[in-house]
Homo-oligomer: A and B are copies of this chain.
Amino acid sequence: MTAAHPMVELWRGGLLESTHAGHAVIWGPEGIEDSWGDPDKVIFPRSSCKMIQALPLVETGAADALGLTPAHLAFACASHQGEARHVKLAGDWLAAIGLAEPDLRCGAHEPYDRDERNRLIKSDESPCQLHNNCSGKHCGFLTVARHLKAGPEYVEIDHPLQRMIREATEEVTGETVAGYGIDGCSAPNFAVTVAGLARAMQAFAAAREDGDGRARAMQRLARAMATHPELVAGEGRACTELMRAMGHAVALKTGAEAVFVAILPEQKRGIALKIVDGGTRGSEAAITALLIRAGVLDPGHPAALKRLGGVQRNWRGLETGTVRAAPGFPR
């Protein structure tokens, strides 16, 4: 087992203050092209695998039966921040399948979006499950469950939907899942290796519209994500800003505890990484470094500099430090 590889450094006053190490794999048409740390490290992909969890939505025909648009598919893969448009999309989607907010099983939390958060506070409203960053995924889950005429407890590990997700996960990663944990949104999250996750992302990258059913579903989901960055995360967030910065040519997805994946269709490459400490600062900087290296992201773009190489400032606008790639990373 290889140790985690140093990837990201925080500098302040000319001194190294903090460091992030992790595991990363780039999977190309011929297999692993490059890796850092331990490719076989078992991780929880958390929300980074939402496009895998959305495969049954397309493959069962549930999406087409309901006439879902690419916006819906992007939203099914989202960790959104509860902006008004996200909340409306989730509510409208549930209504379209004859369900409502109480049918969700994701739980409620305060939205990350400040406008919507402030609106709730000013009107003495509590956040509801529509605000949960995973509500889009859960709308997709409920759509499949209804389509299959399966029970309402769609996050139970033995629910037909979760069985389908486990099977899809094993097929696209080429692995038997190493176990599962319960995610923040109560859905099962299947443990896979970093290499397996990168392999899956490569399959999404290589998938063509004229391929088999699996390939068509993958292509639609990855295309939907890259087309609608604002629905995959939200204003100011890494996935949204970086997908826009790359001209909608790459699909990106973050996951809790510092996982990040990228789908690069033009290069037929997939990337997966996990920063071992679980800190989002590290995973956002590391994926930025790998996207720059892949030639798909301009290192001088504001969305890149915000995560890597730019000047960090404090509350009074004074320069405090910078986040850099660790020496020798990505190489």
Contact = CB atoms under 8 A, between A and B. Distances in A.
A107 to B, nearest CB: 3
Contacts of A316: 105-107, 186
B282 A315 contact: no
A183 interface: yes
Contacts of A17: 43-44, 181, 257, 278
Interface stretch (A72-80, A200-208, A317-325): A317-325
Nearest to A124: B122
A53 B212 CA distance: 66
Interface residues on A, range: 35 or more
Residue of A105, A122, A316 most packed against chain B (CB within 10 A): A316
A13 interface: yes
Contacts of A139: none
Contact of A122 (B122, B178, B314): B122
A279 interface: yes
B315 A106 contact: yes
A61 interface: no
- 9 nearest A-B residue pairs (beta carbon): A107-B315, A13-B181, A18-B278, A277-B277, A12-B181, A107-B316, A121-B121, A184-B314, A279-B279
Interface of A: 10, 12-15, 17-20, 42-44, 105-109, 118, 121-122, 132, 178-186, 189, 191, 257-258, 275-279, 281-282, 314-316, 318-321
